[in-house]
């Protein structure tokens, strides 16, 4: 999607997100990637994709179970809403609208080729399929980098 298409559908991004954000409860606790001793049980996202995110997390919990999610580090939350420009770019990040999420960033980094990322391993394919089934794409799969990043397709 182009930035203009995103604005047309999701509105103009702003630092507070007060016009478009909602808070969803997570069905299992997630650890903050930058402080693994801190857990979160809810997150802010765009109200138009809240159900997509809820379905993803419910499906992940159903498929893997909380213990296996933790073992695979799918429960490491790298963020959803953050008003900022794309790294190394001038366009607004999709995080600015709360329509993208980063998971387990340490081993699925921005410049890591997909086949070198943890998420390329077979046990993560169901996770990726769950995101795709809920109208998200993964940048590692699509562009061979930034495997931590899942964003709404349209």
* pLDDT of the residue at 35: 98
- Who contacts 45 (Cβ-Cβ below 8 Å, separation ≥6)? 21, 22, 24, 53, 80, 81, 98, 99, 101
| Whether residue 88 has pLDDT greater than 80 | no
| Whether residue 89 has pLDDT greater than 80 | no
Q: What pTM does this model have? A: 0.96
* pLDDT of the residue at 1: 82
pLDDT bracket for residue 8 (50, 70, 90): very high
Are the C-beta atoms of 151 and 84 separated by less than 8 Å? no
| Whether residue 13 has pLDDT greater than 90 | yes
Express each pLDDT in 112-130 by its tens digit: 999 999 999 999 999 999 9
* pLDDT of the residue at 31: 98
For the chain, the residue count is 154
* pLDDT of the residue at 7: 93
pLDDT bracket for residue 9 (50, 70, 90): very high
| Whether residue 73 has pLDDT greater than 80 | yes
CA proximity to 60, closest of 47, 50, 73: 73
- Who contacts 108 (Cβ-Cβ below 8 Å, separation ≥6)? 117, 118, 119, 140, 146, 147, 148
Question: H-helix or E-strand containing 29?
Answer: strand 21-32
Express each pLDDT in 20-41 by its tens digit: 999 999 999 999 999 999 999 9
Bridge-partner residues for 22, per DSSP? 45
Q: Tell me the domains of the chain and their CATH numbers.
A: 3-152 (3.30.1380)
């Amino acid at each position: 999607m182009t930035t203009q298409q995103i604005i047309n559908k999701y509105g103009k991004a702003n630092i507070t997100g007060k016009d478009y954000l909602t808070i969803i409860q997570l069905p299992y606790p997630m650890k903050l990637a930058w402080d693994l001793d801190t857990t979160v049980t809810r997150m802010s996202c765009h109200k138009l994709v809240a159900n997509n995110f809820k379905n993803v997390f419910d499906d992940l919990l159903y498929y893997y179970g909380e213990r296996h999610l933790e073992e695979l580090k799918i429960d490491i939350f790298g963020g959803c809403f953050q008003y900022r420009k794309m790294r190394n770019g001038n366009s607004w990040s999709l995080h600015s609208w709360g329509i993208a999420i980063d998971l387990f960033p340490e081993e699925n980094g921005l410049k890591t080729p997909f086949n070198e990322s943890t998420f390329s391993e077979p046990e993560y394919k169901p996770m990726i399929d769950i995101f795709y089934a809920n109208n998200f794409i993964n940048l590692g799969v699509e562009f061979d980098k930034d495997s931590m990043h899942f964003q709404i397709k349209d």
